[in-house]
Chains A and B, each alone.
Chain A
Amino acid sequence: MKTVRKTLVSLLILAISFSLILAGCSSKESGGSKSSGTKDGEKVVIDFWTFWGSETRRPIIEKIIDDFNKSQDKIEVKHTYLPWGDVWTKNLASIAAGNPADLIINDINAVGHRAQNNQNTNLAKYLEQDPEVKDRFYPELYNASLYEGDPYALPFNTDTRLMFWNKDMFEEAGLDPNTPPKTWAELEEMGKKLDVKKGDKYERIGYLPNQGIGADVWMINADGKGYWDFDAKKAIINDETNVEALTWMKNYYDYYGDKTINSFKAEFGEQTADPFVAGKLAITTDNANFFTKIRDYGDGMNFGVAPLPAMEEGSGNSSWGGGFVAEIPKGAKHPDEAWEFLKYLTDVQAQEYWAVKNFDVVANKEAAEKAAGSAEFSEEGKMVYSEAAENMKQTLLTPTPNEAPDYINLIQPEIESVLLGKKSPKEGLDAAQKAVEELVKSNKK
């Protein structure tokens, strides 16, 4: 009798645990099938993945989606928010499983890499239907979305590095507050004049050459070319201007020394206060939307904004940017409908709305220019945004070369060793060049 009861009890427990497991599975499954596009009456439901879940961004993207849904009665876009750290990994897994989203926001620099690996959809046939779409964008952004001449994504938003300076500090140091530095030499000269030292500690620093941007941006700024020659498809890490740019930066860096810079950097980590906003730095170089930090925490700071200074007069003020694209994952169930929404997403209305609400530089040229004059911006906001829109003409992107997708991992440590004084700029960049060439060779095999 006892054993029978025991058996019954154990079977019962087992049954319960199994049903719990099954319940877990089935609820997952139903969630899964809902998220892929299914016909909902007449309308086709498409699933749109973004990582914009914050209090500020989520309502903005959802308003755009809502506007689109109301504008027609054939397609219903459903927004799925996935956290930044998860969204692209999940995208990969869902592509491999054959059940991806219909549209996703992804990194602009790796469009080609994803295309090569069959992760996104060739949009050439859609652009043949709507050839005018391609002219909406800043050409540099559109070009970054091409793989072997065909578009695999459309650019959504971008950014560009600008120089911000504190006008009050300029005046205090006896400099003309309306004349920012135009060359590297001027930047260094003015920067040093703006330093405030107490004993051997800096209370304020004029400018730090690796604040907000790194050596890579100065290399692009020097001659419009960074680590990679996209025409010749080869690494040019140790070319002359790159060595020159790193040497300049290293010398400027040494003027303050490791200790000063390290403690300065650590004190103003990315997440916490910014030294420029906190009044510890007179000039900074940062993204255009750095303005929102000045606006929100700058306590009415009197500042100006200009392009990055040129290496020398006439060498150009090239800047660097990145951004995000919207693309149709490979194997999406409703690519045609996704394309319709993709067009809407990159059209003037949606782009201008995004630009103004987020203070974000958008990929659509006309929308960016319209946003620059938006009545919703303050005078300062208009000033920064129009400077940013203007700067897009000289902003370059650095798409990941398919020949060496993780080349940055080989270059960055060398640059750090140079800045730490372990190697000379030439030695460091030569070593990086060699390492990347090796990587390219081994990837070719």
Chain B
Amino acid sequence: MERIVINKPEITKKYKKQKASSSLQRKEGLQGYLFIAPWIIGFLFFMAGPLLFSLYGSFTNFNITSKMDFIGLDNFKKMFTNDPIIWLSLKNTLYFVVISVPLTTAGAVMLAVLLNQGIKGMRVFRTIFYLPAVLSGVGVYLLWMQLLSPSSGLVNTLLGFVGIDGPAWLTDPSWTKNALIFMKMWSVGGGMLLYLASLQGVSQSLYEAAEIDGATSFRKFFHITLPMITPVIFFDLVTSTIGAFQIFQEAYVMSESGDGGPANSLVFFNLHMWNKAFEVFDMGYAMAMSWVLFIIILVLTVFNLKIAPRWVHYEGEDRK
């Protein structure tokens, strides 16, 4: 969070002035570099190399074992003109992002507010609601496949008690994505923890002042609580948007034979990319796809950062 607040140029200027060129400082600087050296070396060897390679690879017909010819923009051309599934996968991914990100964010905020009440045994509740965030991966998906089973699953059984005839979650193509979103809602505990921490940082004096002015709890929430935690909401929004665009595992595990069925309703961008890369070894094309996704996410994130000043409120900062 702080990283966004800090005004970088100023600080470095100050730092530089202070530094002069004392040998002590230089030594410390060197030590600093030595300390981050393992990370930098790791990054250069294991991240930067493959990253650059995939950038180059996206302009080739690389298939791992036999071909690597430069084919210019052909992969990108093919993507936009000759791959019907890629559009479908983008649509599916966007649907998932647009619905799941606001829902999970709102869910996490609400949960945090509820868990911020001062009632007895709150620690126990907090633990319980945080637990799903600790569990992860395939085990959880398999569990949910059972819970979402149309006629014997717990979810539809519960819906049945209140007279709702539950859908065939993972087998009906118009419900599969909703099923995944529903599942994601279960593990909002991770975000909740962030909000809980920031809620506790909201100064009590603000509430006291509002109470003296006769504010209702509704107004207190919308005019004090919410604005005070906007930096965390912003952070959560940006990171979970990025995460949601990269959805893969859920669809891979929870669709029949991992192909994104039924009726391609779970073909997400990354799943399609994986199929291209590891099913048919069209690695160059898959690399090109990954760069397209990167650009989409980059643009969205920059957009998010640009509009952030309109609604994100930092304490001690003047409204412009």
Residues of A at the B interface (CB closer than 8 Å) are 3, 6-7, 10-11, 13-14, 17-18, 21, 89, 92-93, 95-96, 113, 116-119, 258-259, 262-263, 265-267, 269, 330, 405-406, 408-410, 412-413, 416-417, 420, 422, 435, 438, 442, 445
Contacts and interface: CB of A to CB of B under 8 A. Distances in A.
Interface in B20-70: 24, 27, 31, 34-35, 37-38, 63-67
Contacts of A11: 34
Interface residues of B, number: 40
Given A14-B37, A92-B65, A266-B171, A422 B150 contact: no
B64 A92 contact: yes
Contacts of B263: 413, 416-417, 420, 422
Given A10-B35, A410-B85, A442 B78 contact: yes
B168 A14 contact: no
B170 A119 contact: no
A7 B148 CA distance: 58
Interface of B is mostly: loop
Nearest to A400: B280
Given A406-B275, A416-B261, A7 B31 contact: yes
Given A3-B24, A14-B35, 11 more contacts: A3-B27, A10-B34, A10-B35, A92-B281, A117-B64, A266-B150, A408-B259, A410-B84, A412-B261, A416-B264, A422-B263
B281 to A, nearest CB: 6
Nearest to A120: B65
B65 A413 contact: no
B262 interface: yes
Contacts of B152: 263, 266-267
B264 A259 contact: no
A420 B265 CA distance: 12
B135 to A, nearest CB: 19
Interface of B: 24, 27, 31, 34-35, 37-38, 63-67, 74, 78, 82, 84-85, 145, 148-153, 168, 170-173, 259, 261-264, 275-276, 278-281
Nearest to A405: B280
B264 A263 contact: no
Given A266-B150, A435-B84, A438-B82, A409 B281 contact: no
Contact of B150 (A7, A93, A263, A412): A263
A288 B78 CA distance: 42
A196 to B, nearest CB: 16
B89 to A, nearest CB: 11
User: Which of B67, B171, B276 counts the most A-chain CB atoms under 10 A from its CB?
Assistant: B171
A259 B168 CA distance: 7
A18 B168 contact: no
A89, A262, A266, A406: which has the most chain B beta carbons within 10 Å? A266
Contacts of B148: 266
Contacts of B153: 266
A410 B261 CA distance: 11
Which of B78, B263, B279 is the most central at the interface, judged by chain A CB atoms within 10 Å of its CB?
B263
B101 to A, nearest CB: 26
Contacts of A263: 149-152, 168
Contact of B259 (A6, A18, A412, A435): A412
Contacts of A95: 64-65
A312 to B, nearest CB: 30
